[in-house]
A and B are shown apart, each in its own frame.
Chain A
């Protein structure tokens, strides 16, 4: 079973300490984990630290996987290159090594990931012609084409419409189930989180406040501490938990 755990992980940019002593219990693969936190809470820094792009104290423990099985999808989706969608995914596939030639199985895996994320129609389009949401979907395909066992995605659904959000989160859930991969997604829509993510990690001011099962961890108290928002989690008429925002939190709680 693939799993990921953090032990007192820290990171800094220049003099600024962004992350301090971030620790989590083992996060197991096979389902989605949401990374929650306000803007500038350190989510991207945590991802980059786990992905090995930033130095710092502490340890990132992977079991049943090593660093080459890890893929990180950054938030920025600026793509001005004269490449087709298909080429850009080949590119992600070939970074692991290998020569100029493309094997039939490599091409098949590109076709496969395009199919899974509903990108077939875009295969021959040039990257600069894509809309923001389409770029984001292409970014997800680039990240998953190598079949990584540990996946970190920074706001993978922020530019998608409602239908595409649903579709993409569904496809990511399927990917996690099929491959047993650990998948940590930074997300802002808490209702999407409750629907799609089994586990939640909550980050505020560079510290991890809580890690655990979504419905246990995601309490009004935690949400007030994370976002400064008063909220309720109630059952809808079909029994699903839904979060309702009431307004800014009372000063006492902040």
Chain B
């Protein structure tokens, strides 16, 4: 019988093709990231030839001390922080969108960035240290404490009975306005010097990058990513709707709480180091969704890579636009990100969100 062999899994073959395409896309994103990192390190106010930069990276002892300091103590931490912060904010946004079933959810729209700005301003304007033990680090620590407080508030309220995902998102937007008003009040009473510090902080900047900040943000990514990865199937199923996911055996409530907690950490720490970089948390996940779909096995690494590539490329732009100057990266993400994002949605937008 050579007639019909219905048991040939033709769809499975096509699915394997889809998986292969996605692996190619992920690899491409990773290569793009390496390229962007290389360009980022080679650019800066001091013009060094690319060859010298590479030599300083791979054989530091052969370069003079000034070059080593510029590359290893200034440019490398900045370039790497762009990557860890971009990946963290994008992953945080991706999982917020997943568990809250809302395309607008991100560290920015849920009020975490606004809370962090307010915390930082408390330190810069009033000199208030929320943890007096660490006065030297009071700006980032205040920012972190306020961002964590905001997300724990959202986290706590989401455990109440009858609180829906829509309520959580509305509450986040209410937080944005409240913290912005409080911040404006602080700015009104601030000295000129403090005011300019606050304004610069809220623009978002990588210029205060250190190896310690790179290590902390990378460490948090290393802790959170495997925890999300282990729940990849369940997180994907949540996107089929709460009831359907529950019917498939997903512990929806518990998973949502766990994810909200991880997301709080992922968002609060980078924001307290670099200030307001609003757009990555929304654009990163949406680009990843358009490229790779929402199977978390691809979406999870994809969202991180997209966020990292976007912020790293933005860092390159922030140095390239005005030679000799480094523009605040938060401004560039919005200026370049918005038109790019709009174009992407309008040209390639599927019906999913």
Contacts and interface: CB of A to CB of B under 8 A. Distances in A.
Interface of A: 51, 53, 68, 71-74, 76-84, 86-88, 90-92, 94-96, 100, 104, 107-108, 110-111, 114-115, 120, 123-124, 126-129, 139, 142-143
B293 A111 contact: no
Given A71-B247, A80-B353, A82-B289, A120 B11 contact: yes
B248 A82 contact: no
Contact of B352 (A53, A90, A126): A126
A95 B248 contact: yes
A127 B248 contact: no
Given A81-B239, A94-B233, A139 B249 contact: no
Interface string B228-257: 010011101101110110111110000000
A208 to B, nearest CB: 22
Interface in B1-40: 6-7, 9-12, 14-16, 18
Contact of A76 (B236, B243, B295): B243
A117 to B, nearest CB: 13
Contacts, number: 112
Contacts of A110: 11-12, 15
Given A90-B15, A91-B248, 9 more contacts: A53-B247, A71-B248, A72-B247, A82-B290, A82-B353, A83-B236, A95-B249, A110-B12, A126-B351
30 contacts: A71-B247, A72-B247, A74-B241, A74-B243, A76-B244, A78-B241, A80-B351, A80-B353, A81-B240, A82-B294, A82-B353, A83-B240, A83-B293, A88-B240, A90-B15, A91-B233, A91-B236, A92-B248, A94-B233, A95-B233, A100-B229, A100-B297, A107-B12, A107-B15, A108-B7, A114-B11, A124-B11, A128-B351, A142-B240, A142-B248
B240 A84 contact: no
B47 interface: no
A126 B232 CA distance: 19
Contacts of A100: 229, 232, 297
A104 B11 CA distance: 12
Contact of A129 (B233, B294, B351, B353): B351
Contacts of B248: 71, 91-92, 95, 142
Contacts of B236: 81, 83, 91
Nearest to B229: A100
Interface of B: 6-7, 9-12, 14-16, 18, 101, 229, 232-234, 236-237, 239-241, 243-244, 246-250, 289-290, 293-295, 297, 350-353
A65 to B, nearest CB: 15
A11 to B, nearest CB: 15
B237 A95 contact: yes
B305 to A, nearest CB: 17
If over half of B's interface residues share one DSSP class (helix, strand or loop), that class is named, otherwise mixed; here it is helix
Given A94-B233, A110-B12, A111-B12, A84 B243 contact: no
A53 B295 contact: no
A87 B241 contact: no
A139 B295 contact: no
Nearest to B297: A100
Contacts of B6: 115
A129 to B, nearest CB: 6
A51 B247 contact: yes
Contacts of B247: 51, 53, 71-74, 143
A95 B241 contact: no
Nearest to B9: A111
Contacts of A83: 236, 239-240, 293-295
A88 B10 CA distance: 17
Contacts of A127: 352
B293 A84 contact: yes
Nearest to A72: B247
A96 B9 CA distance: 22
Given A53-B246, A94-B233, A123 B351 contact: no
Nearest to B236: A91
Contact of A74 (B244, B250, B350): B244
Contacts of A51: 247
Contacts of A72: 247
Contacts of B239: 80-81, 83
Contact of A87 (B101, B229, B295): B295
Nearest to B294: A82
B18 A84 contact: yes
Nearest 9 A-B pairs (CB), nearest first? A81-B239, A107-B12, A128-B351, A82-B352, A111-B9, A74-B243, A95-B248, A123-B11, A82-B294
A51 B297 CA distance: 28
Q: Which of B16, B18, B289, B352 has the most CB of A within 10 A?
A: B352
Nearest to B241: A78
A16 B148 CA distance: 37
Contacts of A104: 9, 12
A72 B248 CA distance: 8
A76 B245 CA distance: 11
